[in-house]
């Protein structure tokens, strides 16, 4: 093709981060808050004070294994960088996760977004510390009483799913969410939109959609834009055309229609 393209789910990785850096311990400077942010639920808390204040946020993908860790921190750089981060709860073995860092328009701040999975990072609701290394950034967050915030986050996610079209009774009956193994294998380098390639566009698209009892996908919509309309549209088009889910099931084993969510990362190395 003349150009190398890496296309992966938000949990896939390429190169591990550099050798460990001495982490900065950050104490909480505000309470945990839960809110809707751009049609998604996010739980966040401020750490540190003054020009060293950093906001830590967790933004799960409803009805999925996806978990986005976000950091808002002071910074004036204009360059976007991508790489692999280390994440660890308490004394657990760190997991690798892709991250992106770039400026926030208008504000003199930087946003770091790290995409991982609940199944890999562990039980966040019981954790005392979160260790993050992303590039030259090394931080140790003292989480405090996060358990109550996670319960509030679950309530927010339920309301979000209902706003996306889930029937409350059906939602509460689901014991096993719909499942699509290795969805990223449905994508290939040939799927990268030519217009996005020409403009060197890359990013992660978060989309939600309806999954029928036959496992087919319909009504795909963007919840988190990649920043490129072409990449967002292509994400939905491929999932609708190629994905075949194992339908959600109730406690009695009945198949029911449900909502699915996926994050797909488009990257030009």
List pLDDT tens digits, range 180-211.
Answer: 888 888 999 899 999 999 999 988 899 999 99
Helical residues (DSSP H) of 45-193, grouped into ranges? 118-121, 147-163, 168-173
Q: What is the DSSP letter of 191?
A: G
How confident is the model at residue 20, as a pLDDT? 53
Task: Share the mean pLDDT of the chain.
Answer: 89
Mean pLDDT of 7-15: 45
Is the distance from CB of 88 to CB of 141 less than 8 angstroms? no
Residue 132: strand, helix, or coil: strand
Among 149, 125, 157, 127, which Cα is nearest to 140's? 127
Candidates 3.40.50.300, 1.10.10.10, 1.10.490.10, 3.30.2420.10; correct CATH number of 165-267? 3.30.2420.10
Residue 36 pLDDT class (50, 70, 90 cuts) = confident
Q: Where in the chain is the domain with CATH 3.30.2420.10?
A: 165-267
Among the listed residues 95, 64, 99, the one whose alpha carbon sits nearest the alpha carbon of residue 267:
99
pLDDT, position 1: 34
Say which range, 27-31, 49-53, 56-60, 234-238, has the weakest mean pLDDT: 49-53
For residue 179, give Cα distances in angstroms to 56, 101, 173, 236, 241: 29, 30, 16, 17, 16
**Alpha helices (H) in 49-181, listed in sequence order:** 118-121, 147-163, 168-173
Decide the pairing of beta strands 81-89 and 40-47.
unpaired
Name the pLDDT band for 269 (thresholds 50, 70, 90). low
Count CA within 13 A, CB hemisphere, residue 33. Answer: 11
Mean pLDDT of all residues in 174-182: 91
**Residue where the block lists tokens 């140790």:** 140
pLDDT > 70: what percent of the chain?
A: 91
DSSP β-bridge partners for residue 70: 57, 113
Q: What is the pLDDT of residue 250?
A: 96
Contact 174, 246 (CB under 8 A): no
pLDDT for position 171: 96
Checking if the pLDDT of 77 tops 80, the result is no
How is the chain split among helix, strand and coil, in percent rounded to 5? 20, 45, 35
pLDDT at 5: 47
């Amino acid at each position: 093709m003349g150009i190398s393209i890496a296309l992966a789910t938000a949990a896939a990785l390429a190169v591990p981060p550099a050798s460990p850096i001495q982490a900065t311990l950050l104490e909480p400077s505000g309470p945990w808050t839960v809110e809707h942010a751009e049609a998604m639920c996010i739980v966040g808390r401020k750490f540190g004070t003054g020009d060293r204040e950093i906001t830590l946020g967790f933004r799960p993908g409803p009805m999925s294994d996806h978990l986005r860790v976000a950091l808002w921190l002071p910074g004036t750089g204009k360059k976007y960088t991508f790489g692999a981060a280390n994440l660890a709860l308490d004394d657990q073995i760190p997991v690798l996760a892709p991250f992106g860092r770039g400026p926030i328009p208008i504000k003199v701040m930087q946003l770091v977004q790290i995409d991982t999975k609940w199944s890999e990072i562990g039980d966040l609701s019981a954790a005392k510390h979160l260790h993050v290394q992303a590039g030259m950034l090394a931080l140790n967050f003292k989480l405090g009483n996060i358990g109550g915030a996670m319960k509030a986050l679950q309530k927010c996610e339920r309301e979000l799913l209902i706003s996306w079209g889930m029937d409350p009774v059906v939602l509460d009956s689901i014991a096993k969410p719909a499942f699509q193994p290795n969805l990223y294998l449905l994508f290939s380098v040939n799927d990268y939109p030519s217009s996005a390639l020409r403009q060197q566009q890359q990013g992660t698209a978060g989309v939600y959609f309806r999954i029928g009892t036959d496992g087919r996908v319909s009504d795909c919509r963007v919840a988190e834009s990649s920043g490129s309309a072409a990449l967002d549209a292509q994400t939905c088009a491929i999932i609708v055309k190629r994905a075949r889910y194992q339908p959600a099931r109730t406690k009695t084993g009945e198949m029911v229609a449900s909502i699915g969510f996926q994050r797909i990362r488009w990257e030009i190395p």
